[in-house]
Amino acid sequence: MHILISASQGHHRNFLSMPLLQDTNKLGCLQRALFSLFCITYAAIKLICTKVVKTRSKSSDGKVTNVTPVSLLEVKVTLPTKLIFEDQAITKKYDPSELAQLPKTMLGEGTVGSLFKVILNCGSIVTIRMIREGFVKPNDLESWINFFGGIRDGWLLPLQFSFWYGGEAFIVYEYLCLGSLEELLHGTEGIQFTALSWEVRKHIALCAAMAIAYLHNQVTKTGNNVVCGVVKASNILIRTDCSACLSGYETPYLVPPATIIRRNPGRVAPELRSSNQNYPKMFTSKSDVYSFGILLLELITGKRPTVTNLAEYLIEKIKKKEGLRSICDSKMEEAKESMKEMIGIAQNCLSYDPKDRPSMDRVVQMLQQLKE
């Protein structure tokens, strides 16, 4: 009797638990269905994100653009752009948004702003300067960029393109693979460095002198002659035929004189370094001539003017009568008569009184008359 009752009780308990088991099975089916739906959705999203096909197309205006389907995980933000200046002959291939957003390689930190090397999607290489904020008002910046963009000469590195992207201004220049005179003069010897011969140095000096002379004969909108501010090796860029062109000539119109003077020790004329508060520290064609005289000594000696006071260095060498060989760069094979002549030109440029310095037109003539 006892056994029959126990069996009946057990059967009753199993009967009561059947609805609970059915509910549990339904819950498990629902979870599996939701999990399967999640997996399918995730796979679809991953497929969309990973199969982003980049195609290159050319628009009717000649610009090379990338047509890239928008990924769910990557959204490219484009800021407002505004054109400042463009050279109609070559700028159809430039897209401001592309130029601003492409990866950049730092080339240097100049007075006006940072300089970058940029490889465009079409394969071309350009140099881009990002203008430092706060030096000049936007309207003045645009005015000066348009003015210098309109200046064209074979010895000047031209401004090709300029634009605003968001709140930042950019200037685009041609990229010269040999870099600057400063890199060639003072770089470490190796695969990418070859000591400059005297003939090449003479040619670079003449190219730079012609560039400055050309600028001195240009007139600004206010009726004043254009000046360079400071002539330095980092602004002398070298072409593959070893000719040179001047860059950065817009600097004194975008940056306060005091900032340029402070950032260029050893290169500015003595009247600009004067502590006399009544003397206006303004760049002139004669202060450019002094700065060019320092550049000539840098070419001759191979020494950095920021490390060695080249004007005093020359005077000391002449006083001690140590000879031409002791003055000239040891990387050059032999001392030549034309080196002595160039030292004389440099001395004229470095005259303490600005009135005693020659004009850049005259400097060009003297350099052209140097002996071979």
Question: What percentage of the chain reaches a pLDDT higher than 90?
Answer: 48
Per-residue pLDDT of 226-259, as tens digits, reads: 999 999 999 999 999 989 999 999 999 999 999 9
Output the 3-class SS for the chain.
CHHHHHHHHHHHHHHHHHHHHHHHHHHHHHHHHHHHHHHHHHHHHHHHHHCCCCEEEECCCCCEEEECCCCCCCCCCCCCEEEEEECCCCHHHCCHHHHHHCCEEEEEECCCEEEEEEECCCCCEEEEEEECCCCCCHHHHHHHHHHHHCCCCCCECCEEEEEEECCEEEEEEECCCCCEHHHHHHCCCECCECCCCHHHHHHHHHHHHHHHHHHHCCECCCCCECCCCCCCHHHEEECCCCCEEECCCCHHHCCCHHHHHHHCCCCCCHHHHCCCCCCCCCCCHHHHHHHHHHHHHHHHHCCCCCCCCHHHHHHHHHHCCCCHHHHCCCCCCCCCHHHHHHHHHHHHHCCCCHHHCCCHHHHHHHHHCCCC
Per-residue pLDDT of 251-295, as tens digits, reads: 999 999 999 999 999 999 999 987 766 566 889 999 999 999 999
Mean pLDDT, all residues of the chain: 81
Residue whose token pair is 């600057």:
180
What is the per-residue pLDDT for 21?
A: 42
Per-residue pLDDT of 4-42, as tens digits, reads: 444 444 444 444 444 444 554 555 566 666 666 666 776
Higher pLDDT, 98 or 252: 252
pLDDT at 130 over 70: yes
What is the per-residue pLDDT for 292?
A: 98
Higher pLDDT, 217 or 331: 217
CB 273 within 8 A of CB 266: no
What is the per-residue pLDDT for 64?
A: 42
Question: What percentage of the chain reaches a pLDDT higher than 70?
Answer: 76
Which segment of 7-11, 153-157, 206-210, 237-241 scores lowest on mean pLDDT?
Answer: 7-11
Q: Which range has highest mean pLDDT (60-64, 183-187, 294-298, 323-327)?
A: 294-298
What is the per-residue pLDDT for 9?
A: 46
What is the per-residue pLDDT for 281?
A: 80
Q: Mean pLDDT across the stretch 118-130?
A: 90
